[in-house]
Structure 1
């Protein structure tokens, strides 16, 4: 499949990296020669210096015979124009646009076939708010990814130094906690697909497959007290803070939003009926003390300033906030903030990358979600009748090293598998896999990671 990506920023770069690793024919367009050089030095992709809003540049990139265009620049207008030109140059091409301005999103008819003809709009803020809402359903989690329409959750938990699990071997846990499955461990920014002999260490990020109605079992396993969430504080009343505030309007949660811009505070108070709007600086310790920050169940540091968000998060942790979610835009910063103890990070760019990749993939591969750090993926796939793995117990299937079956969904029932579980035709399977073994896994499943 030939995919043209417009924009070599972090979103475009990460999409190009993932797709090229899977053997797709990727062409990337950007006006900045330095970015193009970085791309060609590090990735197996073609690159064209120019603008995605130029018909000539698009033709040079091969738009006429391309299957898909992904417009991922920082300019909504450039992305939409690129899609419009692509439609006129290739009537069959699929078009994905990254769009951040909510004014455009509210005018849905703009994207219809009669006007721009965009097939899929990716809004990073909307995707990030969805991530935050998922995290709020599982307090204590560092990452939450939904599969099977939310019936199965992939949940990441960080092991603290006082955890009773630190130093435990995985093979010793099943007797105490039943059929819970740890599908991946992220340790020192490296991903392990674990075996029974592996030992849990302090600082590990464990990814577990859990049925949505059995989250309390995960809390028991991890030694976390399942406390009802009541009070939320958001610092930053920008587009993300407003969108999250609107999502929380339909809940019973008490929400406070701190925003330092006075006109913006007035606007927020007009848009939100239930939230308490506080005009002030989220890094002001006296203000936070006055607003009883230590009593908050969640603090979301969501301003557009990453340094401020990190400072607010560290301050909130010092003042006793139970759970903190920090917005970080630059993907390269995520390992750095994790190293100083901020373990729950949301990123509009990472959310955009996830959303774009999930849209691109199709066929019997239902969805793919990169795990934190992007070195592994959770893959939801349908078992074909012709596959080698059907009608065989898992223990007798030679999966590639670095791949693990995390869950089997059969007729609406979620099964956390054991070695004796027999895979049946049309089962939906959730795999954990290191990215380098995905091609081997594809071959075994006889399911190519197909695309539109």
Structure 2
């Protein structure tokens, strides 16, 4: 598979890194010499210096041979022109574009239906707000994903010291929890992703991912000592695009909301457009302001400024002053591994949201959705079992799944199956697979159509 990526920023860099590790043919275009140098020194990919909106540069990058083009620069206009040029030069190349501007939002469907034909439009701001909503709805979770139209949840929670599951071997879970228990699909320990087997033990401090039907979610959360606590009052630090979008969403859900924003002109913008949200002109890292606004009564503080350091400081300060829960926006991937160490568990990232959306369109086989686990340690995928793939019509125990992967769920019509070794995947089943990064190429192979030669 050949992939052309326009833009060597954080999103382009990390998509290129991931695809290069999977031995895909990747070409990255960027006009910034420093970005190209960083990429060349870190990743084994081809690079082309120039604008991705230039037809000559796209030709040089080999757009005519590319299966996929990703336009992920920080400029919506450059991304759109790159797609237009790619559509002229290579109509069969699948085109994915990142668009963040609100002006383009009502035209996403038009881009798919008209020239330039764009297969997928990605708006990271929308995806981040959806992620925040999911985290708000699942108490104690640090990661939440949905499959089968929301009927299946995959949830990441930290195992607390003193938990009854601390030290328990997975094969002993039936005797500890009896019949009604979630399927533990992955464990992150010391930043390493483990696809567990029966002889693995749970330890306090583990980030445990489990699969649960929606109807059993809160029961399964209570097993990990996570109990429902409805969010009624929210404080947003940062009134930019995402903060404004989140406040509008919360107003629609009748949740009391306040926004703290530094820029006076942006405060005026917010006050004119929000109906019930209280807009405060100030600094979200100002302790006196937080105390004045009764931070100890706030159920959730969401820090969404454009500066990671401000978001981190504001979240830590809010927790110290009594806020029950915080969600922190981070863009630099190098910060992710530090967050739990300093006491920040719930993190969202527009760039990671964009990457998750891109992944499902790059994966071979009929992948319906793909979500990164713990930054980039691995993925959980929802895929359609194609009739001619290697995974259908035989028990799971007889399928040579790559080491570091497992089938965590099977959806057949309206039935949800938590599988065992004797379970059989039938054609057109939807399956959920957890995989470490190293196992992903092997998973793609078994998901792909098996060609029959005559």
**Separation in 2, partners of 1:14, 1:373:** 11
| Counterpart in the other structure of 2:48 | 48
- Structure 1 residue matching 2:149: 3-state secondary structure: helix
| CA positional deviation for 1:363 | 4.6
**Separation in 2, partners of 1:415, 1:266:** 52
| Counterpart in the other structure of 2:167 | 167
Matches within 5 A, 1:196-275: 196-275=198-277
Q: How many residues align?
A: 448
| Counterpart in the other structure of 1:343 | 345
| Counterpart in the other structure of 2:418 | 416
| CA positional deviation for 1:384 | 3.4
**Separation in 1, partners of 2:241, 2:356:** 20
| Counterpart in the other structure of 1:310 | 312
Q: Normalising by structure 1, what TM-score?
A: 0.92
**Separation in 1, partners of 2:267, 2:38:** 42
**Separation in 1, partners of 2:190, 2:36:** 30
| Counterpart in the other structure of 2:9 | 9
Matches within 5 A, 1:311-326: 311-326=313-328
Structure 2, unmatched stretches of 5+, are none
- Structure 1 residue matching 2:226: 3-state secondary structure: coil
**Separation in 2, partners of 1:306, 1:6:** 25
Does the CA contact (< 8 Å) of 1:381 and 1:430 recur in 2?
A: yes
Matches within 5 A, 1:436-451: 436-445=438-447, 447=449
**Separation in 1, partners of 2:98, 2:390:** 39
| CA positional deviation for 1:184 | 0.8
Deviations 1:255-280 (A, max 9, x none): 12122222222221221112222222
- Structure 2 residue matching 1:201: 3-state secondary structure: coil
Does the CA contact (< 8 Å) of 2:364 and 2:447 recur in 1?
A: no
- Structure 1 residue matching 2:242: 3-state secondary structure: helix
Could you say if the C-alpha distance between residues 232 and 409 of structure 1 is closer, same or farther in structure 2, counting changes exceeding 3 Å? Answer: same
| Counterpart in the other structure of 2:361 | 359
Q: Normalising by structure 2, what TM-score?
A: 0.92
Could you say if the C-alpha distance between residues 442 and 308 of structure 1 is closer, same or farther in structure 2, counting changes exceeding 3 Å? Answer: closer
**Separation in 2, partners of 1:358, 1:388:** 20
| Counterpart in the other structure of 2:299 | 297
| CA positional deviation for 1:332 | 1.3
Deviations 1:43-62 (A, max 9, x none): 33221111112222111111
Could you say if the C-alpha distance between residues 240 and 199 of structure 1 is closer, same or farther in structure 2, counting changes exceeding 3 Å? Answer: same
| CA positional deviation for 1:313 | 0.8
Matches within 5 A, 1:29-48: 29-48=29-48
| CA positional deviation for 1:292 | 1.9
Does the CA contact (< 8 Å) of 2:138 and 2:228 recur in 1?
A: no
Deviations 1:195-223 (A, max 9, x none): 12222222211111111221112222111
| CA positional deviation for 1:244 | 0.6
2:281 to 279, 282, 292: 279
Could you say if the C-alpha distance between residues 48 and 187 of structure 1 is closer, same or farther in structure 2, counting changes exceeding 3 Å? Answer: same
1:189 to 168, 191, 216: 191
Does the CA contact (< 8 Å) of 1:140 and 1:323 recur in 2?
A: no
Could you say if the C-alpha distance between residues 402 and 53 of structure 1 is closer, same or farther in structure 2, counting changes exceeding 3 Å? Answer: same
Could you say if the C-alpha distance between residues 72 and 297 of structure 1 is closer, same or farther in structure 2, counting changes exceeding 3 Å? Answer: same
Report the RMSD for the aligned CA atoms in angstroms.
2.2
| Counterpart in the other structure of 2:118 | 118
**Separation in 1, partners of 2:382, 2:188:** 20
Does the CA contact (< 8 Å) of 2:259 and 2:277 recur in 1?
A: yes
| CA positional deviation for 1:387 | 4.3
